């Protein structure tokens, strides 16, 4: 069993102490987000958990608690984007987050820190040249601290479209996407960072960007030494390649309040 912690909120940033309490308790009761009357008890005993996958924008508050997870295999998906406070009103400064990612990598190993440049947003000012410059700058700082960068373009969820209505968000043209991906893969090769895509319906393989599994059975097999055959998570989008997992988070609880986030209403 794989624990996803969590697509729905930022547990390492805000709920680390709560998570450790549940680890000590040995289980957690997870409410179905679409039917609150349905409660599922999930074991958190080391014998039952193959891996914990942490999704976060800032794991620094969680650092002091990592020694308490020695009985578990885990890795981090670390979202680090180039946007300002107009889109990410409560996210820490980017230089601080770069330092945090590097520190995490030094603590647990770069193979267990996956960078997410996600989502890629296009406006009049956030164009292809902006993203190429930002990506090159960030990659230069992170090149020795991660092996993979996962990208995706902004998905038009109804709640995000509503929150972003004043930003003139636009869909990039295919020629813009081609230039961006070719540039990203070139930069990635120079820095030893693989570029992979998250739940994309576009043929990104043509540009050297392979589909990613954020919940990755192959990585988990490598980390644990146990072969974990792929079982697609049927609760995710068709284009999502993730292995099945149990998400223990709760929607509408992340305090970063990013305007493009699907997890906050």
Question: What CATH code is carried by the domain that includes residue 200?
Answer: 3.30.750.200
Q: Which residue has the tokens 């296009």?
A: 122
For the chain, the domain total comes to 1
- Rounded-to-integer distance, Cα 181 and Cα 187, Å: 10
pLDDT per residue rounded down to tens, the chain (265 residues)? 999 999 999 999 999 999 999 999 999 999 999 998 999 999 999 999 999 999 999 999 999 999 999 999 999 999 999 999 999 999 999 999 999 999 999 999 999 999 999 999 999 999 999 999 999 999 999 999 999 999 999 987 777 878 888 899 999 999 999 999 999 999 999 999 999 999 887 778 888 899 999 999 999 999 999 998 889 988 888 888 899 999 999 999 999 999 999 888 7
Tell me whether residue 253 is in a domain: no
Is residue 105 included in any domain, yes or no? yes
The answer as to whether 160 is a domain residue is yes
> Please, which residues bridge with residue 116 across strands?
79, 150
Q: Do residues 153 and 207 make contact, with C-beta atoms less than 8 angstroms apart?
A: no
- pLDDT for the residue numbered 153: 94
* 36 in a structural domain: yes
| pLDDT computed for residue 155 by the predictor | 83
Contacts of 129 (CB under 8 A, 6+ apart): none
| Range of the structural domain that residue 152 is part of | 2-247
Query: Which residue's structure tokens are 């603590």?
Result: 107
Per the structure block, which two tokens stand in for 263?
């997890």
257 found inside a domain: no
- Determine, yes or no, domain membership for 69: yes
On whether residue 187 sits in a domain, the answer given is yes
Would you state the pLDDT for residue 207?
86
Distance between CA 5 and CA 59 in Å, rounded?
12
In a domain, 189, yes or no: yes
Q: Which of 208, 210, 148, 200 is nearest to 180 (CA)?
A: 208
Query: For residue 61, what pLDDT is reported?
Result: 98
70 phi and psi angles, rounded to 5 deg: -65, -25
Measured CA angle at 94 (ends 181, 259), to 5 deg: 75
The helix-helix angle for 128-142 and 94-108 (nearest 10°) equals: 40
Angstrom distance (rounded) from CA 207 to CA 200 = 13
Tell me the three state secondary structure of residue 138.
helix
The candidate with the shortest Cα–Cα distance to 111, out of 217, 188, 223, is: 223
Strands (E), 69-140: 74-79, 113-120
**CA-based nearest residue to 199, from 240, 142, 231, 151:** 240
How far out from the chain centre does Cα 147 lie?
Answer: 14
Contact assessment for residue 98 and residue 148, using Cβ atoms and an 8 Å cutoff? no
């Amino acid at each position: 069993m794989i624990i996803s912690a969590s697509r729905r909120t930022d547990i390492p940033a805000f709920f680390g102490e709560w998570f450790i309490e549940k680890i000590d308790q040995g289980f957690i009761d997870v409410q179905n987000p679409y039917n609150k009357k349905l409660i599922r008890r999930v074991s958190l005993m080391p014998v039952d958990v193959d891996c914990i996958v942490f999704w976060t924008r800032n794991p620094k508050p969680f650092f002091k608690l990592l020694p308490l997870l020695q009985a578990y295999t885990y890795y981090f998906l670390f979202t680090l984007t180039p946007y300002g406070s107009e889109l990410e009103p409560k996210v820490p400064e980017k230089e601080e987050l770069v330092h945090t990612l590097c520190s995490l990598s030094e603590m647990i190993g770069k193979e267990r820190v996956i960078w997410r440049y996600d989502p890629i947003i296009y406006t009049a000012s956030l164009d292809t040249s902006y993203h190429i410059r930002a990506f090159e700058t960030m990659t230069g700082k992170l090149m020795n601290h991660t092996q993979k960068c996962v990208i995706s373009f902004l998905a038009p969820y109804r709640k995000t479209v509503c929150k972003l209505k004043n930003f003139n968000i636009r869909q990039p043209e295919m020629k813009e996407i081609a230039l961006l991906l070719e540039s990203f893969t070139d930069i990635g090769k120079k820095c030893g960072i693989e570029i992979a895509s998250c739940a994309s319906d576009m043929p990104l393989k043509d540009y050297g960007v392979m589909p990613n599994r954020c919940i990755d059975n192959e990585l988990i097999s490598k980390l644990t030494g146990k072969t974990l055959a792929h079982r697609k998570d049927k609760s995710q989008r068709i284009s999502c390649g993730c292995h099945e997992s149990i998400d223990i988070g709760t929607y509408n609880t992340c305090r970063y309040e990013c305007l493009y986030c699907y997890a906050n209403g």
